[in-house]
């Protein structure tokens, strides 16, 4: 695992382990996480991005992930 992205990968693994639980209470919201710390759940991506940037800095890596039962599949032609 690349050290630069290991924090994001760990946060995503934590997200996956809590997904089913979070779907029950926060479906459709966006969770913001950094180093295993959940900042909160937000109504839209931009609100989550702003919260993460404010708390961790605009150049820091943090996860903004939509809480949904299954990841949507997008097809681009």
Is residue 25 situated within a structural domain?
A: yes
pTM of the model: 0.84
Is residue 73 situated within a structural domain?
A: no
Q: How many distinct structural domains can be found in the chain?
A: 1
Distance CA 3, CA 32 (A): 20
Is residue 40 situated within a structural domain?
A: yes
Domain range for 13: 3-66
Is residue 13 situated within a structural domain?
A: yes
Cβ contacts of 54 within 8 Å, gap of 6 or more = none
Is residue 77 situated within a structural domain?
A: no
- pLDDT digits over 17-67, tens only? 999 999 999 999 999 999 999 999 999 999 999 999 999 998 889 999 999
Distance CA 65, CA 59 (A): 18
Is residue 31 situated within a structural domain?
A: yes
């Amino acid at each position: 695992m690349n050290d630069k992205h290991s924090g994001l990968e760990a946060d995503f693994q934590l997200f996956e382990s809590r997904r089913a639980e979070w779907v029950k209470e926060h479906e459709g919201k966006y969770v913001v996480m950094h180093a295993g710390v959940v900042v909160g759940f937000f109504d839209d991506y931009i609100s989550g991005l702003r919260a993460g940037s404010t708390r961790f800095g605009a150049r820091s890596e943090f996860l903004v992930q939509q809480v949904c039962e299954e990841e949507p599949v997008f097809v681009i032609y």
